[in-house]
Structure 1
């Protein structure tokens, strides 16, 4: 919720609240051989190299109305990339009227903000099972801002920027600011769930679980795709090339991988049947 000018609480100095959005996405693939795995990792490295990740984060900067101060980026050998952008206060900006906007939320038509000591980062982690079979790509994005605006404003765009099977999303408001009378304010907008900031068309695609600690302004939502199409998890071929027993074995391995990531624990083979 954003307060109107008549409702706006007058603060004592700068709004010192720090709002941090942590967005973790996972892409899962079945790679039967070392060659398939290497080809998949090469594809992922190309799709999410430091240059493309920089473009994504710069767009996030535009969405939240910040100014880029510094960009540090790095592609790693053999795989992975990192980008860190330091951002600072922005002028009055119009909220982009495009598909990346979401509702409801603290989304005024225009905002005046200060974003000192703020940053946006992304790190990628390609990973694979030692016995071949499962390959997993993870990207961790953090958007941390000081001031009035919430980085939740960029969540829709971030979700749409990655091919995602599993998402883990955290949002926390830290610190406090003071009103003119000296009263501490530990949050400056209403929020009951991160799901309120995820568009309906995306929510329809995922099973979602919330774990929220309201008294500490900590919000957590994890998401797993509802629909499973084996063709989306095979690299370089389709399910019609598999024998029925191969299809069943691969499907179980993929579903188990997704469930282990979603629930955060190891699952005994065969327990999904």
Structure 2
């Protein structure tokens, strides 16, 4: 990986667009209508527009952008959206190692600067009409134009949500030119999104990559390894259920997780 001093000199501004889509799913078993409504109310409170705005503001700090505009909305009966438009100048004072293919920091300092960028989040609470499964999904998109990759925000995003399933997509679009007019279609090393995820997080998940290197398209999905039924019950513990009921609910939840992980219905 090139150092700051070794990096190729560009002609004008870096015109590459780098887009990260981070999708997370939280799954819960809600055996009654009242439990389902309580779970959705809990999710709406935990991840309302104000809370989501704070998360995106922290992401903005991590990637070093300045906020130009914030639009946020809580929806009825459920869900929320936030969009932040950000802008700044070129990267001058990024710390050592910031351009390497490695996990990004948690939000402690402003690290670099971007231009013509945006960050969005949308939430989607939903439930199965018959089987008692409730699912909360949040979709976050971070698009940057310049040197810094939004993958540096991935570590913080993973720490901001209780996540059973994650899907991550990263793509570099367009091109920029060096001072000799030669086109560059990517300006940093990457062979997997997983290289931007801390080892202690990777140890908690099963992960699969689907990458198209010639097109600069990278995809990673993750499913939580450890399963404790108590983490998926809302307002009570598994000890209050019969062994047969525990097994029935466990199979429902695991099937839901597998369907989300593999992207298909499973009989």
The TM-score normalised by the length of structure 1 is 0.91
Encode CA deviations 1:181-208: one digit per residue, 9 max, x unaligned. Answer: 1111000000000000000010000000
Matched, 1:208 2:197: no
Partner of 1:6: 5
Encode CA deviations 1:49-90: one digit per residue, 9 max, x unaligned. Answer: 000000000000000000000000000000000000000015
Matched, 1:156 2:155: yes
The answer (yes or no) to whether the contact 2:207–2:222 under 8 Å persists in 1 is yes
Instruction: Give ranges in structure 1 of 5+ residues lacking alignment.
Output: 96-100, 269-273
In the TM superposition, structure 1's runs of 4+ consecutive aligned residues that sit over 2 Å from their partners are 3-6, 90-95, 101-114
The answer (yes or no) to whether the contact 2:13–2:146 under 8 Å persists in 1 is yes
Q: In 2, distance between residues paired with 1:180 and 1:146?
A: 19
Residue correspondences, number: 262
Partner of 1:223: 222
Partner of 1:105: 102
Partner of 2:188: 189
Partner of 1:235: 234
Root-mean-square deviation over aligned CA pairs: 2.2
Encode CA deviations 1:194-232: one digit per residue, 9 max, x unaligned. Answer: 000000010000000000000000000000000000000
Residues 202/179 of structure 1: CA separation in 2 closer, same or farther (3 Å cut): same
Instruction: Give ranges in structure 2 of 5+ residues lacking alignment.
Output: none
Partner of 2:30: 31
Q: In 2, distance between residues paired with 1:238 and 1:68?
A: 43
Q: In 1, distance between residues paired with 2:82 and 2:174?
A: 26
The answer (yes or no) to whether the contact 1:93–1:110 under 8 Å persists in 2 is no
Residues 86/218 of structure 1: CA separation in 2 closer, same or farther (3 Å cut): same
Deviation of 1:104 after TM superposition, in Å, equals 4.0
Partner of 1:115: 115
Q: In 2, distance between residues paired with 1:6 and 1:235?
A: 54
Partner of 1:130: 129
Q: In 1, distance between residues paired with 2:104 and 2:135?
A: 34
Residues 247/214 of structure 1: CA separation in 2 closer, same or farther (3 Å cut): same
The TM-score normalised by the length of structure 2 is 0.93
